[in-house]
Amino acid sequence: MSRVRPFITQILILVVLGCLACQSAASNTEEANKETAVQLYAAIDAQDFEKLRQYLSKDFALSVVGMPEPLDREATFELMKEFYAAFPDFTHVIEEMVAEGDRVAVRMRFEATHQGDFMGIPATGKKVSYAGVQMFTLVDGVCTENWALDDNFGFMMQLGMQLAPATADS
């Protein structure tokens, strides 16, 4: 019995050390994923599409709440280019970021000045600021999926759009 106890103790120590190593590896991955998300936003704000290609997988999908279907990587780039043509100073202000496994959730604020035509709205010169939440899936430092929920209603209201009830003949 006295020989069994040290053996059991050694096994328990190895199990505990193994668990700590797994937690440390997961923590390192999550921190790396958060840093990738920060770099991804920096590339977007700099309109550096070549660098952005390094962060988005070839089969990347952008799902935006309210859009009928996800956009692939090239369609996402085109959308960004159109948006930056109207809002050249558009920036992402990260307010909170949480990572778990291969997912990173970001709560942010968007800030921009309306300096070009956007969805039929001529440039107003108005500064806009609105909130959003995005969820990324990252594999080996590359984003495969982005799910976004932004306050598009608040954004459009700041540009002068108005919500009106439907009329009886509509």
Q: What is d(CA 102, CA 29) in angstroms, rounded to the nearest whole number?
A: 8
What CATH number was assigned to the domain covering residues 4-158? 3.10.450.50
Q: Are 103 and 137 in contact (CB under 8 A)?
A: yes
Terminal alpha carbon distance of the chain: 86
Alpha helices in 46-160 (DSSP H): 49-55, 73-86, 152-158
Tens-digit pLDDT profile for residues 105-120: 999 999 999 999 998 8
Domain spans, the chain: 4-158
CA atoms within 13 A on the CB side of 111: 6
**Which range among 10-14, 120-124, 154-158, 164-168 shows the weakest confidence by mean pLDDT?**
10-14
Q: What is the pTM of this model?
A: 0.78
pLDDT at 22: 46
Q: What is d(CA 143, CA 74) in angstroms, rounded to the nearest whole number?
A: 14
Helix, coil or strand: residue 126:
coil
Question: What is the pLDDT confidence band of residue 168, given thresholds at 50, 70 and 90?
Answer: confident
Q: What is d(CA 65, CA 50) in angstroms, rounded to the nearest whole number?
A: 26
Tens-digit pLDDT profile for residues 144-157: 999 999 999 999 99
Q: What is d(CA 52, CA 32) in angstroms, rounded to the nearest whole number?
A: 17
More confident residue, 103 or 162: 103
pLDDT > 90? residue 82:
yes
pLDDT > 70? residue 93:
yes
Average pLDDT of the segment spanning 65-69: 91
Tens-digit pLDDT profile for residues 21-41: 444 445 688 999 999 999 999
pLDDT > 60? residue 96:
yes
% of the chain at pLDDT higher than 70: 84
Q: What is d(CA 50, CA 44) in angstroms, rounded to the nearest whole number?
A: 10
pLDDT > 90? residue 7:
no
Q: Are 129 and 114 in contact (CB under 8 A)?
A: no
